[in-house]
Amino acid sequence: MRVYQTNEIKNIALLGSAGSGKTTLAESMLYEAGIIKRRGTVEGKNTVSDYFPVELEYGYSVFPTVFHVEWNNKKLNIIDCPGSDDFVGGAITSLNVTDQAVIVINGQHGPEVGTQNNFRYAEKLRKPVIFLINQLDSEKCDFDNIINTMKDIYGSKCVQIQYPLQTGPNFNSLIDVLIMKKLTWGPNGGEPKREDIPAEEMDKAMELHKALVEAAAENDEALMEKFFENDTLSEDEMREGIRKGLVACGIYPVFCVSALRDMGVQRLMEFLGNVVPFVSEMPKVRNSRGEEVETKSEGPGSLYFFKTGMEPHIGEVSYFKVMSGTVKVGDDLTNANRGSKERIGQIYACAGANRIAVDQLNAGDIGCTVKLKDVKTGNTLNSKDVDFHFDFIKYPNSKYSRAIKTENAQDMEKLMTALLKMHQEDPTWVVEQSKELRQTIVHGQGEFHLRTLKWRLENNEKLSITFSEPKIPYRETITKKAKAEYRHKKQSGGAGQFGEVHLIVEPYAEGMPDPTNYSFGGQEYKMNIKSKEEKDLPWGGKLVFINSVVGGAIDLRFMPAILKGVMDCMERGPLTGSYARDVRVVVFDGKMHPVDSNELSFTLAARHAFSDAFKEAGPKILEPIYDLEVYVPSDYMGDVMSDLQGRRAIIMGMDAEAGYQKLSAKIPLKELANYSVALSSLTGGRASFSTKFASYELVPNDLQQKLIADHEAEMAAEED
């Protein structure tokens, strides 16, 4: 394989909803380019893209697959992305390191929620978009309706390049209004027969051709002038206009294909090779300091590692993009993130599970290597005297969480090592060691996302693990003031323990004046404040601790111990063992012993006094509330709303957005535990959602009583 220059390289992300046919399309592209001799199928489990055991097990793409084709003396690096919303991390990664998005649309359903998600990601990253309507050979394909829907969603930027003469099982021809030819295929697809457009189609073809000419001219002043003069453009001029329109994200060309029957694939690749912008024509990337980095081979050498794969018999495979300069076999580079040195022993052009050894890759190219010592996903390797660092990939918040543990406690260390390794492969698998919940929690994008993680741990790592619903990070607070005292006394020969603490607790709100007096049971307690500490709690809220002890009842040296006792209770609240917040504690009296008093005595006394007072102060449990956005087809709106109302959600609003409904709600985290499964079941996998923490709110009284009872039962079980 020859070395391609930057102006000969194009990087393309292949996106689309699950079931749109991306993997099948990838097979046809590889076949047409001569990379493979026989097209595999998803059903046959022999495709280039889906080759990991977990993908073969479930029949779904789990990881983005990098491959290349050589076409008309150009190199097209293509990343086939998983379609399921559960594996959105792969799509986001791929869009960040490519320059063009090809979004595949299922000809049976038209644009779906997943299509919209992919488009939003591409739009946000300013990536050109080509739409590809697949499965035109399906009986359920309604091409005209799909086009009308796309025009409604994407507006005038959505411009047809092709349209089929018929859809369904007899699909075998289409009209291409860029080259103004009829393309016809035999039963095995491949190279089409090019014919003149039939007379009965000429009016429609000319109308679409004119719309395409206008769209191409809009992106270049010189072309616009030619168009006004001649009322048309040459084919080459149109290609130039479309290319500039793609760079500016001013045009979304629409192509037609039957990937399964290899019809239209060759023409698509022709367009990708001839029209789609090269790496060198795209806007410059910025490093972490905000500096523009030119994609040129003469520049300083810098590689960005965007993907790590663990492959059988090989081990760790590291995928990179050459951001600047060149990389050659034997190059010594420095890791900008970790400070370590690396030598590039091998370089490969990617072809799914296969790799083609090369000696050099130039700026803008994508490749992979093996046997690096200390390179993780997201790291940058630089040549000598280069200090580039790239960190441009941002992933969405997790949507689904499970507490994880091994059936054999001795395997926990092995589990953590495996989880760390898997996070490198897919950064949207997030591992959390929760001190608050006393659980190891894995977060992901959905139930299926975490199911694949579990499958790999059990089958690849041979670990027996269990998933359970994570505990909820409740918060405890109080609603009124209360007073309590506690004496800790222990005598067992020699020095004993003695400490007595009298304190008052009350709810705290920002800006409250300092207390001057309290009244309990008709008795007045005047406060003489000696010192005050305000602690911003790591888990949110505040603790205000006031020393109002007079007459030397408790030595000043014991105040830190009393504060510690209070903080111990705040960290493990009296009601449910959750964090407490927004409390003011006033220590106003107590007793000590000249011999037996020590720090431990006062810590224990404070702990008991605070717990007793807290329980008398109208204690309340707060639960985390999340902002929820659901994107759902209109047909399923009623079912989704009914389900949300059964989950204690408050509907905040509804909007029509790009052919779909966007539902906004506030919902307790407790009710989100299995929401991804329920939503998928309700909508046949055609809806998606996102969440964001909003606030803590009071739980209903009946739920509070249940939570307290459950905690008491749990504590009793621990003591037994």
Whether 279 has a pLDDT exceeding 80, the answer reads: yes
In a domain, 351, yes or no: yes
Residue 491: pLDDT over 90: no
Q: Is residue 240 part of a domain?
A: no
Q: Please tell me the distance from the alpha carbon of residue 231 to that of residue 309, in angstroms, as a whole number.
A: 53
pLDDT of amino acid 656: 81
342 and 406 in a common domain? no
> Which residues are paired to 115 by β-bridges?
none
What pLDDT, on a 0 to 100 scale, did the predictor assign at position 494?
65
Most confident of 134-138, 289-293, 433-437: 134-138
Q: Residue 183 pLDDT more than 90?
A: yes
Instruction: Judge whether residue 182 has pLDDT over 90.
Output: yes
CATH code: domain of residue 329: 2.40.30.10
- State the CATH number of the domain containing residue 78: 3.40.50.300
pLDDT tens digits along 612-626: 999 999 999 999 999
* 476 and 574 Cβ atoms separated by less than 8 Å: yes
**How far apart (Å, rounded) are the C-alpha atoms in residues 56 and 41?**
11
Mean pLDDT of 506-516: 94
All residues at 6 or more sequence positions from 233 whose CB lies less than 8 Å from its CB, including other chains: 213, 216, 217, 223, 226, 227, 241
Q: Are residues 337 and 270 in the same domain?
A: no
Phi, psi of 575 (to 5 degrees): -85, -50
- How confident is the model at residue 658, as a pLDDT? 61
| pLDDT band, residue 505 (cuts 50/70/90) | very high
Q: Closest Cα partner for 486 from 581, 571, 591, 597?
A: 591
Domain C-terminal end among 617, 649, 678: 617
DSSP of 608-626: HHHHHHHHHS--EEEEEEE
CB 669 within 8 Å of CB 437: no
Please check whether residues 151 and 17 belong to one and the same domain.
yes
Confidence at residue 51, expressed as pLDDT on a 0 to 100 scale: 64
The phi, psi pair for 2, rounded to 5°, reads: -80, 165
- How far, in Å, are 32, 317, 336 from residue 376 at the CA level? 34, 11, 11
> Residue 465 pLDDT more than 90?
yes
Phi, psi angle pair for 335, to nearest 5°:
-80, 115
Question: H helices within 193-254, ranges in order?
Answer: 199-217, 221-230, 235-247
**Given a cut of 70, is residue 720 above it in pLDDT?**
no
Report the percent of the chain where pLDDT is more than 90.
64
Does residue 1 lie within any of the structural domains?
no
pLDDT in tens, 391-401: 878 888 888 99
Interatomic CA distance for residues 443 and 89, integer angstroms: 13
For residues 209-231, average pLDDT: 82
Q: Which of 321, 353, 382 is the last residue of a domain?
A: 382
Is the predicted pLDDT of residue 44 greater than 80, yes or no? no
Interior/surface letters 665-674, b for 16+ CB within 10 angstroms, e for the rest: bbbbbbbbbe
**What is the pLDDT confidence band of residue 218, given thresholds at 50, 70 and 90?**
confident
Q: How many CB atoms lie within 10 A of CB 571?
A: 16
Between 33 and 549, the more confident residue is 549
Please tell me whether residues 106 and 125 are part of one structural domain.
yes
Residue 224 pLDDT: 80
Of 169, 197, 167, the closest CA to residue 183 belongs to 197
Residue 198 lies in a domain: yes
CATH number, residue 453: 3.30.70.870
Same domain, 611 and 633: no
Question: Is 289 among the domain residues?
Answer: no
Mean predicted lDDT score pLDDT of the chain: 90
DSSP 57: H
Parent domain of 258: 9-208+251-283
Judge whether residue 99 has pLDDT over 90.
Answer: yes
Which residue bears the tokens 């500490």? Answer: 533
Q: Is the dihedral of CA 104, 320, 68, 268 positive or negative?
A: positive
Place of tokens 């037609």: 256
Count the residues in the chain.
Answer: 720
718 CB neighbour count, 10 Å cutoff: 7
Q: Residue 231 domain-assigned?
A: no
Tokens of 143: 């091409």
Instruction: Examine the domain organization and report whether 140 and 158 are in the same domain.
Output: yes
Judgement on whether residues 135 and 268 belong to the same structural domain of the protein: yes
pLDDT at residue number 456: 87
pTM for the model stands at 0.81
Residues 6 or more apart from 1 whose CB is under 8 A from it?
A: 70, 349, 356, 358
Do 481 and 457 lie in a common domain? Answer: no
Same domain membership, residue 346 and residue 271:
no
The answer to whether position 488 is within a domain reads: yes
Predicted confidence at residue 530, as pLDDT, reads 94
* Range name among 306-315, 481-490, 599-608 with the lowest pLDDT average: 306-315
In this structure, what CATH number is given to the domain that contains residue 663? 3.30.70.240
For residues 693 and 626, is the Cβ–Cβ distance under 8 A?
yes
Max intra-chain CA distance, the chain: 112
Measured in degrees and rounded to the nearest 5, phi and psi for residue 319 equal: -100, 135
Residue 498, pLDDT > 90, answer yes
* Domain presence at residue 232: no
- The total of structural domains in the chain comes to 5
In a shared domain, residues 517 and 420: no
Contacts of 72 (CB under 8 A, 6+ apart): 270, 273, 274
**605 half-sphere exposure, CB direction, 13 A CA radius:** 30
State whether 502 and 552 are in the same domain.
Answer: yes
Query: Closest by alpha carbon to 521, among 553, 547, 487, 484?
Result: 484
| Placement of tokens 């039962």 in the chain | 713
pLDDT at 60 over 70: no
Contact by Cβ (8 Å): 342, 378:
no
More confident position, 34 or 163: 163
Closest Cα partner for 686 from 708, 660, 667, 706? Answer: 660
Domain finish residue from 468, 503, 526: 468
Identify which of 452, 448, 447, 415 has the alpha carbon closest to the alpha carbon of residue 433. Answer: 415
d(C-alpha 60, C-alpha 155), whole Å: 32
Q: Look at residue 1 in the predicted model and tell me its pLDDT.
A: 80
| 447 pLDDT tier (thresholds 50, 70, 90) | confident
Residue 462 and residue 481 in one domain: no
CATH of the domain at 604: 3.30.230.10
Question: What pLDDT sits at residue 152?
Answer: 86
Q: Which residues pair with 523 in a beta bridge?
A: 520
Q: What is the mean pLDDT of residues 353-363?
A: 91
Question: Token match 């060759």: residue?
Answer: 266
